[in-house]
Amino acid sequence: MIRKHKVFLWATIFVIASAIAAVTPRLGRASELATYSFPSIYGGRIDTRQWQGKPYLVVNTASQCAFTKQYADLQKLYDTYRDAGFGMIAVPSDDFNQEFDSDAEVKSFCALNYDIDMPMSETLAVTGAQAHPFFMAVRAQSGFAPAWNFNKILIGGDGQVLATWGASTRPLSQKLTRMIEAELARPPQQP
């Protein structure tokens, strides 16, 4: 009985946090972010420097989450805009206790179920003192920290946080794609 109430309480907190995060994107223009490097799940590194002057999206992901099906639309979003210079990084995280125990399991799951070829990091912390430096910088600039899996952070060609969205914002939503298209339509910028 107590466990049932605990689960209900956590579910209620999640729903409220998601609703708050999804109401409007958070816009940030305080200062530009530096470039960051992420360890790639495929080996090597993913360096955000490759997208200087172009927008990129960073999404904290998890393989055992109710939002995991968003992987399919994230891949479609990446496929739609990558030839125009748009970048994306999926960042698996177990911060909310919904990711597999190993990067090999994450990689296999994503390949088998979603045919993922977008850049993906190794499993990293996205919240708290152990968060990857990118997420710490986003929080310092915009006040945004992932409240759940599949939170989305759009970085503009000028290296600034353009907007952030919670898990309930779908990757192919008009509010997200319109911002990407507007940013891609701008002349290349040097951050």
Catalytic positions, written as ranges: 65
Task: Specify whether the CB–CB gap between 162 and 178 falls below 8 A.
Answer: no
DSSP assignment of 26-67 = PP--SS-----EEEBTTSSEEEGGGGTTS-EEEEEE-TTSTT
Give φ, ψ of 47 to 5 degrees. Answer: -110, 125
CA angle 62–132–20, rounded 5-degree value: 60
**3 state DSSP class of 176:** helix
Alpha-carbon dihedral sign for residues 175, 180, 186, 189: positive
How is residue 78 written in tokens? 């990446």
